[in-house]
Structure 1
Amino acid sequence: MANNKTSTEKPPFYIRRFFLILVSLGLIGGVAALWIPSNTGWLRQSGLSGEAEQKSISDLRLHFLYITGGIIAILTLLQTNWKNQVDRRKVEADIKKNEQDAEKNERDHIRQVHAERRSRYTKAVEQLANEKAAVRLGGIYTLVGLVDEWLADDTLESAEQQKEGQVIINNLCSYIRSPFTPALKAEMLEGDSEPENYEGDFSKDQAAFHEEQDVRRTVFVEMSKRSSTFTKNDKGEIFETVPGIWSDFDFDFSRAPIFYPLNAITIEKGNFSSAKFYSNANFNGATFTQNANFSEATFTQNANFNGATFTQNANFSWAFFTQNANFNGATFTQNAGFGEAAFTQTADFSKATFSSSSPKFVETSEVLGMPFRAHFAALAKNQEAHNFTVSKGSFRIPPGEAELRDGVKHHIPVGTVLFDPSSGETSEPAKPLENSDTEEEKPAK
């Protein structure tokens, strides 16, 4: 019998000699049916004669013919069965071959698609170095689109999708971190008129400055579109977070020169440690979906976080605010750290909300075992004072009092220090105000 291992090139003997065996069986059966009953004397030896003998001869011939026909029928069935199995195997082989060809074509197509993406990626990265802003902008949109394509590629495992996408995210972040010399003149280039004794072509530099602002902000805008979204209750409190398609990526903007507004966008994993903000740092209405890290950041002009929302920890340790720091109406849902931060102008936390605990203006180093205290400038009488009046229902900022050698008392958070920006003189840590509640974990009334 034929089976899955039967070779179509070398069939069994009875198949290869089928017609010869068939003819031979027919002849043998015919000869046996005609000759054996009449010439062997079997029937005579049995005592039969006359009509009985003739009938027996006829019956015996029929039996020989039946036997021969049965053998031929069985042989024919075997041949038909073998042929059917061979045909089935050929069909299965064809199907398997077609499937293999289809899989190969699919693999080839996938390789071509991936190769084409990598080719576009290489070209887009090259575009980021182009002198024309429009070309750089096109490169950014291409890279953003490629990340989306990798994430939507169901031929890859989730980990592989993230790996391919992270490579492109790293390039976008690297572009944000890349130096831009005109940013050093941000204050002048933000003006409406050319300053006196300006070195260089003011109009050309200003145009390039604004173009690069638009290009770099576009990176953050596209990231924002793919970041987490939030659902708020009637009080404006976030009660549900829906992760975005880019929420699992890592974003590194550390040491980046920031000279463009980042207001009203969502920033996922905002790592701005050691970043330098030129002109005004505008984060008005921005939302930080995960930890926001501004440790050791330098704000060369005003730092505006009006109405910003920090959904996780906010770290401003060792940050340096050279101008006004405005956190008016900002919301901190978890820890907010300002240890060793320096405020050389006004610090405004009016109507800010601290939902989890009071902000930490004094933080103790676990390694050194010493406190790191925020520094607040001793403002002149004609300057607006620091404002630490938080919103109703928020954990309060414990009020304290400190003074320099001039004897003028200033209200700053308990444990922080007062300093004179001109002389560098520093006060003793601020002591709690008399008859004031200094508990850090007590909400404001």
Structure 2
Amino acid sequence: MEKESRFKRFKAWFTKENFKKLWVSIKKFYKRLIEKLPSLLDYPLLLILLIGLPLFLYNYELVSLKEFQEIEKKERYDLILKLIGGLGALYLLIQTVKKNLEVERNNNENLITDRFVKAVEQLGSEKAEVRLGGIYTLERIGLQSKKDRERIVNLLCAFVRERSKIDPEKKLKSPYEDKEEKEEIKPEIDIQAVIDILFSTQEFAEYEYDLSNSKIHKIKCKEGLRFNGEVNFYKSKFNGEVNFYKSKFNGNIDFYGSKFNGKAIFRGSKFIHSHFKKCEFNGITSFSECESNGFAFFEGSKFFKVSFRESKFNHLLSFNWNENLKSLSKGSLYKAKINIPKEIKEYLLEEKLEVFNKPDILLY
């Protein structure tokens, strides 16, 4: 028996059932393609299909020119019409899917807008649980919608600033000086919720944080979080522990005039430019294993206990060594690469040599 031609095999395969299976597969494929390459959905794509498919069939010898010429004229027209009809239907399908995706996208955008407006309204509620609901809704929207992310970060920062304004007339001397003060520094759950969100999510840390003039209870930053925008804590107050362990600040960080009533841990962090001028560190403070490649300003700052163990500050400026000598303990300057004034270094070598020794226990 003579071998069946490639064209006849192709024609035999081109049944209604096989075409239906192919159609379903094409729909799935182009739905994914449309989502990623919407610019290919106009007339150029139809041209590609009309030219590309015949070339594909010819190139892979599914249909040869000789076989195509040998078949009857009626069958030839019939096949051409089927191919053109199939390609036209495919193009219409693509346009339909594109339109449906646009409708779906618009519906999602409208839904996000409605949720956003409602969440903002909830932030102004007198009930803490309602405000919390608005905060967590904004968090979810920010994670889902990149284009709304920066606006949500700014809104959450403004919420903290507004609800925790520092009264310049009132001065806190210590975190627990009396009962009235203790009650005052009790953290509000909604403010703390915002702080926890901002300092645990890399998606939000891509933008600037303005938390200036704020009263914040504590910060437990996610280990290794990378801040790509400026972080502003200008004249803020922290009544609990502030922990930025192994954080990376690619923008400026500003703590000018801030007050730390608990521990302040910056161990293993990396800075470019940092401002700690006129800060009060009333608890244990650690800049151990830090690396600063830019300017680090400490003019007028006071420390209770501080360590720069194994740190590297290329430009440590205006550190009040005379006022803060008592804050240095054994191992505080162990393997520290910082510019200590000559007279201070001589004094430390004579009177407090232990600050350069290896610490017995790495407490901070």
TM-score for the superposition, normalised by structure 2: 0.60
Q: Deviations over 1:260-300 (max 9, x none)?
A: 10135445427444523335362146442224745462234
- RMSD of aligned Cα (Å): 4.2
Q: Which protein has greater RCO, CA pairs closer than 8 Å, 6+ apart?
A: 2
The residue number in structure 2 matching 1:121 is 116
Number of residues paired by the alignment? 280
For residue 149 of structure 1, the aligned residue among 136, 144, 147 is 144
Q: Which consecutive unaligned segments of at least 5 residues does structure 1 have? A: 1-76, 151-160, 228-244, 362-372, 402-412, 415-431, 437-442
Pair 374,355 (structure 1): closer, same or farther in 2 beyond 3 Å: closer
For residue 263 of structure 1, the aligned residue among 217, 220, 229 is 220
The residue number in structure 2 matching 1:98 is 93
Deviation, structure 1 residue 179: 4.8
Instruction: State the one-letter code of the partner of 1:321.
Output: C
Higher-helix-fraction structure: 2
CA contact (8 A) 1:186 1:279 kept: no
The residue number in structure 1 matching 2:297 is 339
Q: Which consecutive unaligned segments of at least 5 residues does structure 2 have? A: 1-71, 351-355, 359-364
The residue number in structure 1 matching 2:149 is 165
Residue pairs, 1:3-402, within 5 angstroms: 81-82=76-77, 85-86=80-81, 88-150=83-145, 161=146, 163-181=147-165, 194-195=179-180, 210=186, 212=188, 214-227=189-202, 245-246=203-204, 249-263=206-220, 265-266=222-223, 268-269=226-227, 271-273=230-232, 275-278=234-237, 280=239, 282-284=241-243, 286-291=245-250, 293-295=252-254, 297-300=256-259, 302=261, 304-306=263-265, 308-313=267-272, 315-317=274-276, 319-322=277-280, 324=282, 326-328=284-286, 330-335=288-293, 337-339=295-297, 341-343=299-301, 345-350=302-307, 352-357=308-313, 360-361=316-317, 373-375=318-320, 385-387=326-328, 389-395=331-337, 398=340
CA contact (8 A) 2:199 2:221 kept: no
Pair 131,276 (structure 1): closer, same or farther in 2 beyond 3 Å: farther
Q: C-alpha separation between the residues in 1 aligned to 2:322 and 2:162?
A: 32
The residue number in structure 2 matching 1:20 is none
> Looking at CA atoms only, which structure, 1 or 2, has the larger radius of gyration?
1
TM-score for the superposition, normalised by structure 1: 0.51
Q: C-alpha separation between the residues in 1 aligned to 2:268 and 2:199?
A: 14
CA contact (8 A) 1:294 1:316 kept: yes
Q: Deviations over 1:276-327 (max 9, x none)?
A: 333536214644222474546223453632463312336134x223463632
Identical aligned residues as a percent: 16
Instruction: State the one-letter code of the partner of 2:192.
Output: R
CA contact (8 A) 2:192 2:216 kept: no
The residue number in structure 2 matching 1:11 is none
